[in-house]
Amino acid sequence: MSQDFEPKNIIVTGGCGFIGSNFVHHVVREHPGVHVTVLDKLTYAGNPENIAGLPEDRVELVVGDICDAELLERIVPGHDAIVHYAAESHNDNSIANPEPFLRTNVEGTYQLLEACRKFDVRYHHVSTDEVYGDLALDDPARFTEETPYRPSSPYSSTKASSDLLVRAWHRTFGVRATISNCSNNYGPYQHVEKFIPRQITNILDGQRPKLYGDGKNVRDWIHTEDHSSAVWTILTKGVLGETYLIGADGERDNLTVLRDILTVMGKDPDDFDWVRDRPGHDRRYAIDSSKLRRELGWKPVHTDFQKGLEQTIAWYTEHEDWWRPAKGATEAKYRAQGQ
Ligand code: NAD
Ligand code: TDX
């Protein structure tokens, strides 16, 4: 049965990261009666600047670890819901060192579920389409909620593990939970380690963009603002125990996206380097989001990818002070990996 849930006081884990901070901005702008407690460890990927300037009576930052059960005992009571974004989120990092992915993505989810069970708090779990593995380039199929789990990387296998914990805690303990699996996000505040910001900031920095493998890998791009509206819809209208796939029909191969970036930025579309491929590199992701659209009435608004890409390029061009501090170390790590 569909829930009409009206949260007033929510915890957003990972609210200083890319997608979590965009969700916090979305909630502050679109849902004036809601107070947000951001719980964030401020790892290399978390930046308090991402939520700076939001009204103090609407947003509070608690710096801490989702694995810290005592901290959760202190802060979870009094909240109506936890929206769980915090994660180690980068595939290449998970290949270099899987350990933090096990801890944050699996143990962290376990601790949050235990806190929700203890204090009877609604839980929404933000996950990824990567739990379904990949599709062949010539396969007409897309992922649905029924696609079997087949993760490829240490990152996606820990996200898949955390999804399974959520399903079990809902069924066995009655935790009021929903899960969403979204495709690749783009937009402002994305860390420079990720594909689109890395290429934009390389060009701004006078370096050549770097393309893995043969560049034919396909990702299904969605603007992060559409991801936020989808998560809010599922939190407030979703059926407990259900999984919803979030996507905006944005399939594009990496070579095409890179050439678009180069062209918008006034460069020759072939002015980039081919670099070593990612081990186990998933070929294609594609989301069928018709369940979410049909059952909960959600639809994406930012469907003009070219326009969204141009706005994203403009954002990075205007916010060098935001990305510059992370750029040197990120590229040094890639250079050491031959990427
Ligand atoms: P991100 O790496 O930009 O941000 C992660 C945030 O979590 C950071 O602020 C970091 O400080 C925080 N964090 C990490 N470990 C923590 C811990 N132990 N305790 C508390 N905070 C911690 O990630 P993102 O790209 O914004 O992804 C957010 C979520 O969305 C993740 O769960 C990811 O799996 C999921 N997702 C991402 C995408 C994408 O395209 N980026 C797509 C689908 C789903
Ligand atoms: O420099 C690069 N060159 C390149 O060709 C980088 C950083 C990436 N790539 C390729 C690899 C992928 O095919 O671009 C594609 C996108 O790479 P990422 O930005 O690393 O994203 P991906 O691995 O697809 O995963 C992302 O989407 C799903 C997020 O990082 C995950 O958190 C999310 O779950």
> Three-state SS string across the chain, please?
CCCCCCCCEEEEECCCCHHHHHHHHHHHHHCCCCEEEEEECCCCCCCHHHHCCCCCCCEEEEECCCCCHHHHHHHCCCCCEEEECCCCCCHHHHHHCCHHHHHHHHHHHHHHHHHHHHHCCEEEEEEEHHHHCCECCCCCCCECCCCCCCCCCHHHHHHHHHHHHHHHHHHHHCCCEEEEEECCEECCCCCCCCHHHHHHHHHHCCCCCEEECCCCCEEECEEHHHHHHHHHHHHHHCCCCCEEEECCCCEEEHHHHHHHHHHHCCCCCCCCEEECCCCCCCCECCECCHHHHHHHCCCCCCCCHHHHHHHHHHHHHHCHHHHHHHHHHHHHHHHHCCC
pLDDT digits 0-9 by tens, 110-159: 999 999 999 999 999 999 999 999 999 999 999 999 999 999 999 999 99
Q: Which residues contact 50 (CB under 8 A, 6 or more apart)?
A: 15, 16, 17, 18, 21, 189
Nearest-CA neighbor of 47 among 154, 183, 188? 188
Please say if the pLDDT value at position 337 is more than 60. Answer: yes
Mean pLDDT of 165-189: 98
Kindly state if the Cβ of 275 falls inside 6 Å of ligand 2. Answer: no
Q: What are phi and psi of 60, to 5 degrees?
A: -120, 135
Nearest CA to ligand 2 atom 15: 195
Q: CB of 134 within 8 A of CB of 284? A: yes
Per-residue confidence band for 299, with pLDDT thresholds at 50, 70 and 90: very high
Nearest-CA neighbor of 230 among 245, 219, 242? 245
Q: CB of 223 within 8 A of CB of 300? A: yes
Mean pLDDT of 292-308: 98
273 is catalytic: no
pTM, whole model, 2 decimals? 0.98
Nearest-CA neighbor of 151 among 126, 170, 134? 134
What percentage of the chain exceeds 70 in pLDDT? Answer: 99
Model pLDDT, residue 3: 52
Enter the tokens of residue 295: 């059952």
With b for 16 or more beta-carbon neighbours within 10 A and e for fewer, the 127-157 pattern comes to: bbbbbbbbbeeeeeebbebebeeebbbbbbb
| Look-up of token digits 């308090």 | 48
Ligand nearest the Cα of residue 197 is: 2
pLDDT digits 0-9 by tens, 53-104: 999 999 999 999 999 999 999 999 999 999 999 999 999 999 999 999 999 9
Q: CB of 44 within 8 A of CB of 326? A: yes
Cα of 311 from ligand 2 centre, angstroms: 20
Nearest CA to ligand 2 atom 3: 211
pLDDT digits 0-9 by tens, 196-251: 999 999 999 999 999 999 999 999 999 999 999 999 999 999 999 999 999 999 99
Which is catalytic among the residues 110, 155, 186, 316? 155
Per-residue confidence band for 4, with pLDDT thresholds at 50, 70 and 90: confident
Which residues are near ligand 1 (CB < 6 Å)?
13-14, 16-20, 40-43, 45-46, 65-67, 85-87, 89, 104, 108, 126, 128, 159, 182, 184-185, 191
Complete domains list, the chain, with CATH:
9-187+222-249+280-301 (3.40.50.720)
99 is catalytic: no
- Angle 255-259-261 from CA coordinates, rounded to 5°: 120
Enter the tokens of residue 35: 């107070």
